[in-house]
Structure 1
Amino acid sequence: MALTEQKRRYADARLSGMGKKAAAIAAGCPEKSASQAASRYEKDPDVIAAMSRTVAVQKARPVDVPKVDPEPHIPRPSDDPMVFLREMMNDLEAEPRMRLDAAKALLPYVHGKVAEQGKKDQKAEAAKKVGGGRFGTSAPPKLAIDNTR
């Protein structure tokens, strides 16, 4: 499955220091089934991956740099879609699938697509290869006399 909004909120609540049941309630689970939901979320590979990504990014971040964004999962607003996609692609805390989709969407604007040859181009290229060599046609001779005067 994917990291849903509820799973992401649970991971954020657990990383902020809440207990399992309180984090499940904060994520939006009903109070009666919060313990069971917390147990499921603790074993969920998507939640585990999201929590470990966030911890790894926090460890890699310098201590003296304060966190500017109030919500780390929402990129800053931008009028330029390429800036938005580039920020999404480089966001280490974002889900890998989202980062990959942003990179795919940005790719045609950065690197040109290599076009395939058509049938006529392939035939012309093959004819050049066959026509060359020892017995192929040679270039016309250069004239030594200039008769244009």
Structure 2
Amino acid sequence: MALTGKKRAFADAVLAGLSNKDAAIAAGYSAATASAAGSRLVKDADVAGYLAERKKEVRKRAAGKPAAPPPKEPARAAFDLASLVHFSDPKAFLKAAMNERAAEIK
């Protein structure tokens, strides 16, 4: 049996990251039977073949692209603890520490 429009819509929704149930609903299957339909469709030979073929294409395209370098963290100014220790009120200290741009998050 060939890949129908509903089956193709289901497979495309699965490839987009939806769960089997949500993909079945998106493809037009009844919400009441979507869970069973999604489970059945994933095992369908036409759908499984289509999914495998599309995943191969994605892997081939990804293999040809060089890996992106990790994003660099912005440089922070040196934090001077002495500038914050002159507070007698803990709440004032915490506000100052929170608003200090040079302070590390930790």
Q: Which amino acid counterpart does residue 60 of structure 1 have in structure 2?
A: K
Q: TM-score, normalised by structure 1?
A: 0.41
Indicate whether 1:63 and 2:62 are aligned.
Answer: no
Q: What displacement does 1:42 show?
A: 1.1
Alignment of 1:30 onto 2:30: yes
**Secondary structure of 2:13's partner?**
helix
Q: 1:36: Cα distance to partner?
A: 1.2
CA displacement 1:19-61 (0-9 Å, x = unmatched): 1100000010010111111111011000000000000011111
The count of corresponding residues between Structure 1 and Structure 2 is: 64
**Are 2:18 and 1:18 aligned?**
yes
In structure 1, distance between residues paired with 2:45 and 2:21:
19
CA distance in 2, matches of 1:25, 1:63: 34
Report 1:33-48 matches (<5 A): 33-48=33-48
Q: Residue 55 of structure 2 aligns to which amino acid in structure 1?
A: V
Residue aligning to 1:5:
5
Measured after TM superposition, the shift of residue 63 of structure 1 is 3.2
Q: Distance in 1 between matches of 2:38 and 2:9?
A: 12
Higher Cα radius of gyration: 1
Residue segments in structure 1 that go unaligned for 5+ positions in a row:
65-149
**TM-score, with structure 2 as normaliser:** 0.57
Q: State how far apart, in whole Å, the 2-side matches of 1:14 and 1:59 are.
A: 16
Paired position in structure 2 for 1:89: none
- Which residue is equivalent to 2:80? none
